[in-house]
Structure 1
Amino acid sequence: MSGNRWDQPGVPHKGWHCVDVVDLRADGESADETDYATCQMCGNEKIRYVHIMEHPDLDENFDVGCVCAEKMSGDYEGPKRREAKLRNRAARRTRWLQRKWRVSAKGNSFLNVDGHNLGVHMNKFKRWGYRIGSRFSTKTYATKDEAKLALFDDFWAATQDDDRLWSTD
């Protein structure tokens, strides 16, 4: 349901908790291809970053924008911070392929990122894989760039909370 629920009886205004935040723009997708959401609290129709909010008195979660998430939770820092993290991830992923990749003695592309050695390599079946340190990917990819982006996704998932690592990238 969409529309303005701020004035709807029985809908709590406070006491909400954020369960998750989702970026609706798929990796590599342009702005005009994005399927935006509508805030289920205020009715704003163009939300890219959806804050999924839960309340102990309700059985359903609400998908809302940042401003409503702030008001509903009483937290005026957390929603912005969570949304900024997703925004930064998308920007970093876009720049990942343009980074200055070095080439090892074996001809493999690699990066050293704050003590983490990351690399991509071709296997004997002419498919691409990656590694983070000594941990190798279990999947393979048709192209080097696909492997690099999968490496980014895996590395981000493992290190996204390390502010020291991602603060200047």
Structure 2
Amino acid sequence: MSGNRWDQPGVPHKGWQCVDVVDLRADGESADDTDYATCQMCGNEKIRYVHVMEHPDLDENFDVGCVCAEKMSGDYEGPRRREAKLRNRAARRTRWLQRKWRVSAKGNSFLNIDGHNLGVHMNKFKRWGYRIGSRFSAKTYATKDEAKLALFDDFWAATQDDDRLWASD
């Protein structure tokens, strides 16, 4: 349901909690191809970052934009911080392939990031894998770039809260 629910009786204005934030733009997708959401609280029709809000008095969650999430939760920093983290991840992932990858003696591309040695390699079946330190990916990929992006996703998941790793990229 869209439209303005701020004026609708029975819809609480306060006491909401954010349970998730979702970036609707798939990795590598253009702005024109993105399926944006509509804020279920104010009706704004072009929301990329959806804040999923729950309230103890309601059975359904509301998908809303950042400003409505702030008002509903009474938290005027958390929603912006969570959204900024998703924006940063998307921007960093876009730049990941353009980083200065070095080449090892064996011909494999690698990066050293604050003590973490990250690399991609081709296996005997001409498929690509990656490693973080001595931990190798379980899955293989058709291209080197696919392996590099999977490496980013894995490394980001493990280190996203370590600001010093991501400060200079």
Q: TM-score, normalised by structure 2?
A: 0.99
Extract unaligned runs of 5+ from structure 1. Answer: none
Q: Deviations over 1:68-98 (max 9, x none)?
A: 0000000000100000000010000000000
Extract unaligned runs of 5+ from structure 2. Answer: none
**1:167: Cα distance to partner?**
2.3
Structure-2 separation of matches of 1:20 and 1:140: 30
- Report the 3-state secondary structure (helix = DSSP H, G, I; strand = E; otherwise coil) of the residue aligned with 1:131: strand
2:168 counterpart residue number: 168
**1:166: Cα distance to partner?**
1.4
Question: Aligned pairs, how many?
Answer: 169
**1:162: Cα distance to partner?**
1.0
Q: Deviations over 1:101-147 (max 9, x none)?
A: 00011110000011111000000000000000111000000000000
Structure-1 separation of matches of 2:27 and 2:162: 22
Structure-2 separation of matches of 1:81 and 1:39: 19
- Report the 3-state secondary structure (helix = DSSP H, G, I; strand = E; otherwise coil) of the residue aligned with 1:84: helix
Structure-1 separation of matches of 2:93 and 2:42: 31
Q: Deviations over 1:25-61 (max 9, x none)?
A: 0000000000000000000000000000011111110
1:43 counterpart residue number: 43
Structure-1 separation of matches of 2:112 and 2:59: 47
Structure-2 separation of matches of 1:23 and 1:16: 20
Structure-2 separation of matches of 1:3 and 1:149: 38
Structure-2 separation of matches of 1:112 and 1:32: 35
- Report the 3-state secondary structure (helix = DSSP H, G, I; strand = E; otherwise coil) of the residue aligned with 1:92: helix
Structure-1 separation of matches of 2:49 and 2:147: 26
**1:168: Cα distance to partner?**
2.5
**1:165: Cα distance to partner?**
1.3
Q: CA RMSD in A?
A: 0.6
The answer to whether 1:129 aligns with 2:129 is yes
Structure-2 separation of matches of 1:128 and 1:58: 47
Structure-1 separation of matches of 2:139 and 2:8: 49
Structure-2 separation of matches of 1:14 and 1:22: 21
